Amino acid sequence: MRTSYDFTPFWRSSIGFDRLVDLLDAAQQQTEGHYPPYNIERLGEDQYQISLALAGFRPDEINVTAEQNVLTIEGRKTDEKREYLYQGISERQFRRQFNLADYVQVRTASFDNGLLRVELVREIPEAMKPRTIAINAGSSDSNIRQIDSKAA
């Protein structure tokens, strides 16, 4: 049984967190099935891998798209007419989306032995990384006088 949450209090008391509240709301309403099965692994501090089990698919039947913090993986089978006596391997179409945090980029995608592996890395721009600020030595009065003399 799923419990429904009301996110109205978040909207009333937060500014600038729209994307986070939208993600929570979308996750609550998500009705994606469990197909195809997948794993999400942490390979390192800022490295991740998503593995999808895609038995019966060929690489040309899979589309991987990354745009604005969303990774979309779609699979569409070509129309091959086969007569199955028993079909235990599902080959249905699918669309699976993964929300990516800021600065998470898709590095590579590979398909081997029925597994699609998508490697991701978080690369924070230099301007966003913490930096040490140098402290000037000397009296603050002399710094103020220098600024005032330049303004005059």
Kindly state whether residues 71 and 17 are assigned to the same domain: no
Kindly state whether residues 48 and 68 are assigned to the same domain: yes
Mean pLDDT of all residues belonging to the chain:
81
Residue 19 lies in a domain: yes
Kindly state whether residues 27 and 41 are assigned to the same domain: no
Over 80: is that where the pLDDT of 61 sits? yes
Domain count, the chain: 2
Q: What is residue 4's predicted lDDT score, i.e. its pLDDT?
A: 66
- Which CATH number is 63's domain given? 2.60.40.790
Kindly state whether residues 47 and 104 are assigned to the same domain: yes
Q: What is residue 65's predicted lDDT score, i.e. its pLDDT?
A: 95
Pair of tokens at residue 11: 């909207």
Kindly state whether residues 27 and 53 are assigned to the same domain: no
Question: If you count DSSP H runs as helices and E runs as strands, how many of each does the chain have, helices first?
Answer: 3, 7
Kindly state whether residues 97 and 123 are assigned to the same domain: yes
Kindly state whether residues 50 and 23 are assigned to the same domain: no
Helix, strand, coil share of the chain (percent; to 5): 25, 30, 45
d(CA 150, CA 52) in angstroms, rounded, equals 63
In the chain, the percentage of residues whose pLDDT exceeds 90 is: 41
| Statement: the pTM of the whole predicted model exceeds 0.75 | no
Q: What is residue 108's predicted lDDT score, i.e. its pLDDT?
A: 95
Q: Is pLDDT larger for residue 128 or for residue 150?
A: 128
